[in-house]
Structure formats: C-alpha cells, structure tokens
Amino acid sequence: METLLPETLLFLIAAGFLAAFVDSVVGGGGLISMPALLLAGLPPAAALGTNKLGGTASSMTSSIQFLRSGNIEKRLAFALFPLSFVGSALGSFTVTRLPSEFLKPLVVVLLVVVTIYTIFKKSWGKDAVYRGLTNARRAGIAAAAFVIGYYDGFFGPGTGSFLLFAFLLLGFDFVRAAGNARLLNFASNIASLATFLAFGLVNFAYGLPMALAMIAGAFVGSRFAIKRGAALVKPLFIAVTTLLIGKQLWDLWLA
C-alpha cells in the first residue's frame, strides 16, 4: 500500500468527515469527497471507485444510527433494499460499456424541479402523514428504488436527494425520509463498490483513511439530524440540491 504525505492524509480525513456529515443527513456528500480525491491526485475512474468505498462506509454507519433511533420504516425499506442493490449493479455494469455524460442536462432539470417543489411546499416534511401504501404507490416506490439505484450505479450525483424526495412524496417527515433514503443508498453503494472492486478501481491507500473519517462524520451527522429534525434537514436539503445544480451546470459549461 502506498504511503500518503501527512498533509494529504489530513486533507482526506477532513474532507471525508465533512462529506459524510452532509451525506448522512440529505445526501450530496460526493460534492466534497470526489473533488477531494481528485485534488489528492487520483485519476477520475479511481476517484469514483475510491469514493464508493467511503460512501458505503458512510451510508452503512448512518443507516445503523437511523435504524437504532427508529427513524426507518423497516418493512418498507428492507423490501426495497434488493431493488436498489440490483438497480445499482446494473447501472455500474452499464457505465463500463456506455458514457454517462448525456445524463447531465436531465439531472439538472430534475434537481431544479425537486428544489423548487421543496421550497414552495412550505410545511412539507415537517410532520409525517404516511399511513401505508396503496397498490399504485407501492409500485411507484418500487420503481423509484430500482431506477434511482440504477442511476446511482450509472452516474450518481443527486442520488441521496432523489431518494429523500421519493420518500417525502409518500408522506414521511424529513428525518424519517432521510433514514429510509440512507438505507437504500447503502444498498446501491454496496453494489457499485463491488463493481469498481472487480475492475480494480479502488485505491485503498486513499480510500481507507477517508472511509474511517466518513464513518465518524456519518455518526455525528445522523445523530445531529435525528436530534434537530426537519428544522435542520429541510434547509440543508435545499442548500445541497442547489449546490448540485450549480455543479452540474458548471460541468456542462466546461464541456
């Protein structure tokens, strides 16, 4: 295993902690962790794979915290878990065969819709109104779990935001929606990480220190979200989705 310079190690630890803190609450931690890995000197493909190592550690930690606090709808989330896993595995396999850049304009549009809807729906997500699923809603959330999982494996930016939004549409409050979203994101991260490992695209020298920092960040972030509730989660959700929109527009401008 290669040796990291002390300043690079500290940089990855700090970036990993902050990324996981944000990711455990509303998703979007890749806005921090991916640029950090690129700045540390990893090529893009290895940075993607290494980021999935940290993302898996982060989502696992926050999922455990949300489960322990009772903020995951267990029966529903665990039923959707394999759909997210299989979708992500297929998406990760697809990205090895096809370029994913054509998705950027569509992702910008979807993130804009999600953000505007959340801003103008003033009381949305403050209180839980979830009372179970009709057959139509059951089919809809199953399709969403598979499609968003596929998207995470194929492209990725905004996955946490899309998952959280899907659970908000079902009537969950922001904290419970975040908990359900983290468990499904854990499923998609496992499948995607396995694919990157198979292709030798995970750098453990960079990834393990960052993953350990992300475990700590996810622990603190998820507990903070559970304690503060919608008062914290909603504004952070809007801020992160706005940053994601800006990042995707910037990438399109440079393309």
Asked whether the beta carbons of 58 and 186 are under 8 A apart, the reply is: no
DSSP secondary structure code for residue 103 in this structure: G
Asked whether the beta carbons of 178 and 225 are under 8 A apart, the reply is: yes
Compute the CA torsion angle 194, 39, 13, 212 (nearest 10 deg): 10
Q: Which of 57, 25, 56, 64 is nearest to 177 (CA)?
A: 25
Structure tokens at 244: 């994601």
Structure tokens at 8: 């690079």
Give the three-state DSSP class for 97.
coil
CB atoms within 10 A of CB 129: 11
What ranges do the domains of the chain cover?
A: 6-254
pLDDT digits (tens, 9 = 90+) for 120-146: 776 666 777 788 888 999 999 999 999
Q: Which of 153, 240, 193 is nearest to 51 (CA)?
A: 193
Give the three-state DSSP class for 254.
helix
Model pTM?
A: 0.88
pLDDT digits (tens, 9 = 90+) for 220-236: 999 988 888 777 778 88
pLDDT digits (tens, 9 = 90+) for 15-58: 999 999 988 888 888 888 888 998 888 888 788 889 999 999 99
Radius of gyration of the chain (CA): 17
Q: What is the mean pLDDT of the chain?
A: 87
Say whether pLDDT at 238 is over 90: no
Q: Which of 34, 72, 2, 13 is nearest to 244 (CA)?
A: 34
Q: Which of 230, 217, 158, 145 is nearest to 188 (CA)?
A: 145
How far apart are the C-alpha atoms of 179 and 59, rounded to whole Å? 10
pLDDT score of 86: 96
Expressed in angstroms, the distance from the first to the final Cα of the chain is 35
pLDDT score of 187: 96
pLDDT score of 66: 95
pLDDT digits (tens, 9 = 90+) for 62-107: 999 999 999 999 999 999 999 999 999 998 888 777 776 766 777 7
Burial of 167 (0-12, 13-18, 19+ CB in 10 A): buried
Residue 68, H or E segment:
helix 44-69
Q: Residue 157, Cα to own-chain centre: how many angstroms? A: 8
Q: Is the dihedral of CA 234, 235, 238, 240 positive or negative?
A: negative
Say whether pLDDT at 1 is over 80: no
Asked whether the beta carbons of 66 and 72 are under 8 A apart, the reply is: yes
